[in-house]
Amino acid sequence: QVQLVDSGGGLVQAGGSLRLSCASSGRSVRNYWMGWFRQAPGKEREFVAAISGNSSAYFSDSVKGRFTISRDNANNTVYLQMNSLKPEDTAVYYCAAKYGSIARVSSDYEYTHWGQGTQVTVSS
């Protein structure tokens, strides 16, 4: 069983940086797609980034060039490095996991395991 724990959120000024972590307990996530999604108040959950088991990375257009995603399979942890943060990045960020293949990395319904979420607030 995969259990995901998100951490690293907080309050930061615009232009600042944060690094989110997603730690998996239980089963190894080596063969899982790992994704990050976010949900702002009053908005639908949206795709942020995803990384395959062999570290191919994908990003939404809104974060491309500012965010990076990486994974440490030995420690069952995935990271989302967020730079040049903007107020519109304010949201609850969730990590997610999907074993094996995936048809559409940006679709939240593809993912079967979810973290509890961590709040990111960017002040202007």
For 32-90, how does the pLDDT look when each residue is reduced to its tens digit (9 = 90+)?
A: 999 999 999 999 999 999 999 999 999 999 999 999 999 999 999 999 999 999 999 99
**Encoding tokens for residue 95?**
């990590």
The span from the CA of 7 to the CA of 95, in Å, is: 10
The span from the CA of 49 to the CA of 37, in Å, is: 7
The pLDDT value recorded for residue 26 is 78
Query: Residue 1 above 90 pLDDT?
Result: no
The pLDDT value recorded for residue 27 is 83
Nearest to 8 by CA among 97, 105, 120, 96: 120
Query: Residue 21 above 90 pLDDT?
Result: yes
Summarize the confidence of residues 98-113 as an average pLDDT: 95
